[in-house]
Structure 1
Amino acid sequence: MNCKTCNTGITNTHKYCSNCGAKIVLDRISLKGAWQEFIGPFFSWDNNFWKTFFNLFTKPKEVLEAYIGGARKKYFQPFSYLVVYATIALIINKIFPSTEVADFTNGIKSGLGDANPKAPKEALESINIIYQFYSNYYNLIIISSIPAYSLLTYLTFKKRDHNYSEHLVFNAYIQANLGYILIASQLIFFNLIGLSKGLISSAFILISAIYGLYVFIKLYQLTFKQTLYAFFRYAGYIILAFITLMILSIGVGILYAMTIKTS
């Protein structure tokens, strides 16, 4: 018989093709088999997903270097790993919508109304839309920020011989792993215990910074002195990026205000 993927000759005793590595499936499709195929990637403790998740905490250097070094099947691919996280995050947000959006909006309306009874309705609606979008799609905002994070880490560790594309891989793994932790934290501390989502998000910012630094310490085997240097350099780039973003935001706001006045 031949492999159905690459047509290489194989025997009935083979479980995987020696040429392309594809799994040899001899059984017909059944409900049991289809179910096992579906849940296998997520609930089998010896598969790439869980190995990737745990090793990114215990052996991050091995995971990151394995992928960029060409061992693409050893661990879950970074961008697939990210897509799985984004999908789970969207499902969780639909199942457990945040009530804090309405509470925040009502508080803003009350505060602005007391301070300025003539506050424009459009301004209140804009604040509502922005906060609602941020709250509902926080996870996707983090994903969309990966190119920016990657640029910052690339500039911080530019002398370490990893290019920008490789830093995209590093940060995809890092942000996805942090995302899974954030989802679990929200389910436990927000939905079950009832802590404020704002408090959880604030704590998570600190956790993200510590974990990101930890991964790069392990990856580059940084000394304490090198770690401090990298930290302050990275912080400097973040401050510079923040100032640039603020200037751009002010510029956009001025242009928007001028457009409103002339219309």
Structure 2
Amino acid sequence: MAEAKTTCANCYEPMHGSYCYACGQKDIGTRLTIKVFISQMLEALTEVDSKFWRTLRELTLNPGRVALNYINGNRASYINPVKYLFVCFAIYFSLTVITGFHEIYVQEAVNEGEGSQVTQEEVNSIEVKEDNVQVQVSAEAIRDMLRNQLNLLVFMSIPLTAFFLRWQYFRAKHNYPEVLSFLCFIVGHSYFLSIFLVILMWLFDAYQKDIRTLLMLALFFFGARVFFKMGWIISFLGTIATLLLTVISVLVVGASLVLINLYIA
């Protein structure tokens, strides 16, 4: 008769029962079988109190409370906010590329930045000037940056926005890492909910990029009320100010990426 395993395969501590007292790993035997793999997958997906489902559920119902619980030490119950942001953005971004919405976003963003366009007759009637060439080069550089480095634009602008928010809401006495955690939860959940928006827009062949912005502002508004402990009016005014700070952060980071690509590439 084979001798029963007495040590944990993960941390090598003595086993007492089916779970290791030191690291919490379950004893599944010497080999990972199909049966064990499927049972663990179903357990992770269906467990009501799992980190994933609890984070999704509570961020939808009360995003500010999740951030408060997390910074107050209840971290084992939730997904790390930075990891949550990365995962949700990766899924959202992949869907926008597959559906073609990412390229539409790039073109619309550049067209809005260029402002009024010169008609073809006007272009043919004047000589090409150096300034005009620079504008075209800049537009193409913006397209390349948004097309290839949107992930960097998102992840670099969030820490800068959090820095602004730290001082905008200084009376709440949250430090920078705490505000950054709150913002990662908010932005990450806005991308998670936007996954369903992308699917709906793809099914109905209707792209509206402003819906995601409104969704993120709504999440921030309700989350900030709880996290920063503010009233309705102050929260509304603060959300508008946050939108302006976010735009500034995106412009600063975006311009930096464009300049880096122009002078290094």
Q: Normalising to structure 2: TM-score of the pair?
A: 0.71
Match of residue 162, structure 2, among 137, 145, 150: 150
Match of residue 63, structure 1, among 54, 62, 66: 66
Equivalenced residues, count: 240
| Residue in structure 1 matched with residue 123 of structure 2 by the alignment | 116
The answer to whether residue 224 in structure 2 is matched with residue 216 in structure 1 is yes
Distance 2:146 2:237 in 1: 33
Distance 1:8 1:158 in 2: 46
1:157-178 Cα offsets, whole Å, 9 max, x none, are: 2121210011111111111111
Q: Deviation at 1:79?
A: 1.6
Contact 1:150 1:171 in 2 (8 A): yes
RMSD (Å) for aligned C-alpha atoms? 3.9
Closer/same/farther in 2, CA of residues 136 and 10 from structure 1, 3 Å limit: same
Which has the higher relative contact order, 1 or 2, with Cα contacts under 8 A spaced 6 or more apart? Answer: 2
| Residue in structure 1 matched with residue 3 of structure 2 by the alignment | none
The answer to whether residue 15 in structure 2 is matched with residue 10 in structure 1 is yes
Q: Deviation at 1:215?
A: 0.4
Classify the secondary structure of the residue corresponding to 2:12: coil
Closer/same/farther in 2, CA of residues 122 and 208 from structure 1, 3 Å limit: same
Closer/same/farther in 2, CA of residues 94 and 50 from structure 1, 3 Å limit: same
What percentage of aligned pairs have identical amino acids?
19
Match of residue 77, structure 2, among 68, 74, 78: 74
Contact 2:106 2:143 in 1 (8 A): no
Closer/same/farther in 2, CA of residues 103 and 229 from structure 1, 3 Å limit: closer
| Residue in structure 2 matched with residue 181 of structure 1 by the alignment | 193
The gaps in structure 1 that reach 5 residues or longer are: none
Classify the secondary structure of the residue corresponding to 2:209: helix
Closer/same/farther in 2, CA of residues 44 and 145 from structure 1, 3 Å limit: farther
Distance 1:159 1:69 in 2: 18
Distance 1:85 1:236 in 2: 24
Q: Normalising to structure 1: TM-score of the pair?
A: 0.72
Match of residue 95, structure 1, among 92, 95, 98: 98
Match of residue 192, structure 1, among 184, 195, 203: 203
